[in-house]
């Protein structure tokens, strides 16, 4: 994946303030229980180890214990069961590791490069990964079957972005800025039309595929009919909710004067985020500021937006039913911004930061000088520091 335009990275730089196999997983540390939030968290802690815990910080389970000597990276949950996958680089090489939430049923599948991005298929049977390719400057798109212990390289290119079909039987890819293709079980990829280099990841929803075409944000419906969702120019990011009923469109006006609107004759020209109702074309402004990410709640009704504030920190806003409110403010690490949020439209498909009931978020960062993993309920009760750590994700159930 490539970096976003220089203008965004310059602002991002202002935002920040400056398993071992054969070891025994499943070491448990139990804290005082409390709270009613569901699901489990997976955290990459300050020691570099992968751990799971309850949303109140209790019932901590260590899945790895050698983070000081091995590099573990960005653990994520399977969408249909409580399994976890993460990347590893150690003396044995590079691999994808999967495990149950208690550390049992752990398996390792070796890969030819370090997987810097992982995304489970919706049925939880495969993991799409990206890593450096054998050719100079290229990336490999590879599929990992954890149960079978096999991998297969599907395609190469750079930059490279992909999105799973809802049925897990195909992917749509945006490659080299000019290829927009579907890969399925057939022998040859299907070119689905002209695209643009001015966005990163397409998105496949039950309603169809969202992508950027020459005229703006497009939706290729399942009957192969294509329609304009929002007129846009310049660099944009596209983030639909799970069923495609709403799509968040992020704009960067400093890059070639971006405009975005559902109506081509009534375009805006500013940094910001708008939500478009795909059935009516109605627009709702979320924020009129540069953002570094957004994530939809599991029920598809709430959008969390990370907007750069005047204080060179990130404000977390919640949009719901046309209204926006600020939830909290947090300082984020350079690593999180450069390794994940710079590509948030890809990560919004694989990294779940919402509770299963859509009533809280989890995020690593610093609040009032205190760093760690924060759970923030939407009920106004305030952020809760539940663990140390540099990465966190919430289970889907």
pLDDT for the residue numbered 312: 60
Task: Give, in degrees to the nearest 5, the angle at Cα 341 between 339 and 342.
Answer: 75
On whether the CB atoms of residues 176 and 158 are closer than 8 A, the answer is yes
- Report the share of the chain in percent with pLDDT over 70: 86
Residue 66 sits in a domain whose CATH number is: 2.130.10.10
Q: What would the 3-class secondary structure string for 177-218 be?
A: CCEEEEECCCCCCEECCCCCCCCCCCEEECCEEEEEECCEEE
- Cα distances from 241 to residues 64, 116, 177, 248, in angstroms, run 33, 24, 23, 8
Write down the pLDDT at residue 35: 52
**Does residue 274 belong to any structural domain of this protein?**
yes
In the chain, the number of structural domains is 1
In a domain, 184, yes or no: yes
Q: Is residue 1 part of a domain?
A: no
Name the pLDDT band for 311 (thresholds 50, 70, 90). Answer: low
Residue 12's SS3 state is helix
Residue 27 has pLDDT above 60, yes or no: no
Considering the domain boundaries, does residue 81 fall inside one?
Answer: yes
Q: What local confidence, expressed as pLDDT, does residue 137 receive? A: 81
Q: How far apart are CA 362 and CA 351, in angstroms?
A: 11
Alpha-carbon span 215 to 212, nearest angstrom: 8
In the DSSP assignment, the letter for residue 331 is B
The whole-number pLDDT of residue 321 equals: 96
Q: Is 44 part of any domain?
A: yes
Per the model's pLDDT, the better-predicted residue between 312 and 119 turns out to be 119
Query: Across residues 75-100, what is the average pLDDT?
Result: 96
Q: Mean pLDDT throughout 191-200?
A: 95
Cross-strand pairs, 354: 361
Query: 340 is written with which tokens?
Result: 């994940």
What's the pLDDT tens digit per position in 360-395?
Answer: 999 999 999 999 999 999 999 999 999 999 999 999
**At residue 208, does pLDDT exceed 70?**
yes
Q: Which residues are CB-contacts of 264 (< 8 A; sequence separation ≥ 6)? A: 216, 231
Say how many C-beta atoms besides its own lie within 10 A of residue 195's C-beta. 21
Angle at 45 between CA 347 and CA 49, to 5 degrees: 95
Mean pLDDT confidence for 104-122: 97
Structural domain for 15, as ranges = 6-394
Least confident range of 194-208, 226-240, 315-329: 226-240
């Amino acid at each position: 994946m490539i970096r976003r335009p220089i203008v965004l990275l310059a602002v991002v730089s202002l935002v920040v303030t400056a398993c071992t196999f054969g070891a025994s997983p499943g070491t448990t540390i139990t804290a005082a229980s409390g709270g009613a939030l569901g699901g489990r968290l997976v955290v990459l802690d300050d020691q570099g180890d992968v751990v799971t815990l309850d949303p109140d910080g209790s019932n901590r389970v260590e899945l790895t214990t050698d983070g000081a000597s091995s590099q573990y990276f960005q653990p994520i949950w399977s969408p249909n069961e409580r399994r976890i996958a993460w990347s590893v680089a150690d003396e044995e090489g590079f691999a994808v590791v999967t495990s149950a939430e208690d550390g049992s049923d752990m398996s390792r599948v070796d890969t030819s490069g370090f997987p810097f991005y992982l995304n489970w298929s919706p049925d939880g049977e495969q993991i799409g990964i990206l890593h450096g390719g054998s050719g100079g400057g290229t990336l490999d798109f590879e599929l990992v079957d954890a149960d079978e212990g096999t991998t297969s390289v599907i395609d190469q290119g750079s930059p490279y972005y992909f999105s799973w079909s809802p049925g897990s039987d195909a992917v749509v890819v945006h490659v080299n800025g000019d290829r927009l293709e579907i890969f399925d079980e057939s022998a040859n990829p299907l070119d689905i039309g002209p695209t643009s280099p001015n966005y990163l990841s397409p998105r496949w929803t039950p309603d169809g595929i969202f992508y950027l075409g020459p005229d703006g944000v497009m939706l290729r419906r399942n009957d192969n009919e294509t329609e304009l969702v929002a007129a846009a120019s310049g660099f944009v990011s596209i983030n639909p909710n799970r069923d495609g009923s709403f799509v968040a469109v992020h704009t960067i006006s400093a890059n070639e004067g971006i405009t975005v609107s559902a109506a081509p004759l009534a375009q805006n020209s500013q940094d910001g985020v708008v939500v478009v109702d795909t059935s009516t074309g109605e627009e709702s402004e979320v924020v009129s500021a540069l953002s570094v990410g957004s994530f939809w709640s599991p029920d598809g009704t709430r959008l969390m937006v990370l907007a750069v504030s005047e204080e060179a920190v990130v404000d977390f806003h919640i949009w719901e039913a046309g209204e926006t409110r600020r939830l909290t403010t947090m300082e984020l690490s350079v690593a999180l911004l450069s390794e994940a949020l710079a590509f948030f439209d890809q990560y919004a498909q694989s990294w779940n930061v919402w509770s299963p009931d859509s009533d809280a978020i989890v995020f690593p960062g610093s609040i009032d000088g205190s760093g760690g993993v924060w759970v923030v309920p939407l009920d106004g009760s305030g952020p809760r520091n539940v663990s140390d750590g540099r990465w966190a994700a919430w289970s889907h159930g």
